[in-house]
Amino acid sequence: MRIKLTDKDALIVVDMQRDFMPGGALPVPEGDKIVPRLNQYIRLFFERGLPVFFTRDWHPPDHISFKDQGGVWPPHCVQDTEGAKFHPDLYIPPDNRFIISKGTSRDFDAYSGFQGTMLDQLLKERGIKRVFVGGVATDYCVKNTVLGAINLGYEAFLLLDGIKGVDVKQGDSERAIEDMLGAGAVGVEYEEVK
């Protein structure tokens, strides 16, 4: 399959933050291994003048998802901490980029980049019809962002070579990919897009 990029396309890079990388508070195994591939996508979109959106968890210290508050996760991506920063090797273009913070209020969790954010509005303002989504984790925030995009009427492309899952239960990532494709997402790799 060959995908021709148009001015109706945007890239969404999901949660490539230090806490989700090996050695972080909530590591995705080999999450850092997709940085070079994501950088290729980012440069491709940036060089064509297409918008690039970076989602990030940006939690208060007492966020509802943390174990101390009765949630399921260790504290991670707390606002203004080292762990909340993007991976140091991730290419962040100087302009035509947007940082989307989610999970910013204590009592509201957000796995999708669309939940409680301006992402949908920013895409619509730019006439975007198709989104290309990669990042971590396949089975949580990538899955929910892709499904959110489809539910909002976007055509969603899943970057199969630019995602990694956490697999809390064996096979979670594979099931997540099946769920996304079953909902209408199209799986692509870099060679089909560039």
- 4 labelled catalytic: no
Catalytic pick from 9, 15, 32, 57? 15
Written as six digits, the tokens of 179 are 């769920």
- 85 labelled catalytic: no
> In sequence order, what DSSP letters do the residues of 1-26 get, joined into one string?
------TTEEEEEE--BGGGSTTSSS
- 169 labelled catalytic: no
Catalytic pick from 32, 102, 139, 164? 102
Strand partners for 156: 131
Q: What is the largest CA-CA distance in the chain?
A: 48
- The C-alpha atoms of residue 110 and residue 93 are separated, in whole angstroms, by 25
Catalytic pick from 19, 141, 143, 164? 141
- The C-alpha atoms of residue 21 and residue 29 are separated, in whole angstroms, by 7
Q: Return the active site residues.
A: 15, 102, 141
